[in-house]
Amino acid sequence: MSIESWLLFIAVSLVPAISPGPGVMLAIHNTLRFGRNATLASASGNALGLVCIGFAVAFGFGALMATSAVAFTVLKLIGAAYLIYIGVKVWRDKSSFNTLENDLEGRKSYRMLFGQAFLVSITNPKAILVITALFPQFMSKSGFHLDQTIILSVTYAVLCWANHAAIAYAGENVRRFLTSEKRLSMTRRITGGLFVGFGAALATASR
């Protein structure tokens, strides 16, 4: 892949990489509740999921999602159910977004946050369809090429990771806002509602 093609890929990938979605909402949630380092851990899980999707698309999984109604429906329902589960859990958990410094540690291990973000990433049909539409435009038509797959997958994953990292660092300032029970309750309900909304939208999405 030429440097020109790679730079063009970066340019056209920026919008989908930073656009709001379940991964971005999870990054915001983790930043507000657990702090910066926890979000960096979940961002890494999201990035790994995107790399896996990139390789799957290169091996033809994306085409399967685009042509098989059953496969697409199963995947989107799994993703939708998981997002709704997260939303309900956030809404009901009164300890969500507790900003006390001594309450940040031990809430959830970085491994659990990594795994949660990975699962959200690989079950998100939006990410699959974006990668399915984007990657083939920059790949050779002569078949599978490992080097191209690695470059495109890692590049897109890094762009998304950087977006989540920016949220993590910016969120440290937002956390200072959450110093009252009323604000905490409002933030918890809005965030939980958004997760449920994403899940409902995903459940009704079409190919």
> Rounded to an integer, what distance in angstroms lies between the CA atom of residue 18 and that of residue 144?
28
Report pLDDT for 131: 84
Instruction: Say what the pTM is.
Output: 0.71
pLDDT: is 53 or 124 the higher one? 53
- Spatial CB neighbours of 4, under 8 Å, sequence gap ≥ 6: none
Could you state, in order of their start, the residue ranges of all structural domains in the chain?
3-10+22-203
Place of tokens 């899980």: 45
Report pLDDT for 107: 57
Highest-scoring range by mean pLDDT, 125-134, 146-155, 196-205: 146-155
pLDDT tens per residue, range 63-89: 555 556 666 677 667 767 767 777 777
Place of tokens 């009323």: 182
Report pLDDT for 61: 58
pLDDT tens per residue, range 19-66: 777 888 888 888 877 888 889 999 999 999 999 999 888 877 555 555
Element (H, E) at 105: none
How far from the centroid of its chain's Cα atoms is residue 104's Cα? 22
- Are 201 and 22 a contacting pair, CB within 8 Å? no
Other C-beta atoms lying within 10 Å of the C-beta of residue 58: 22
Q: Which three-class secondary structure string do you get for 16-83?
A: HHHCCCHHHHHHHHHHHHHCHHHHHHHHHHHHHHHHHHHHHHHCCHHHHHHHCHHHHHHHHHHHHHHH
pLDDT: is 149 or 61 the higher one? 149
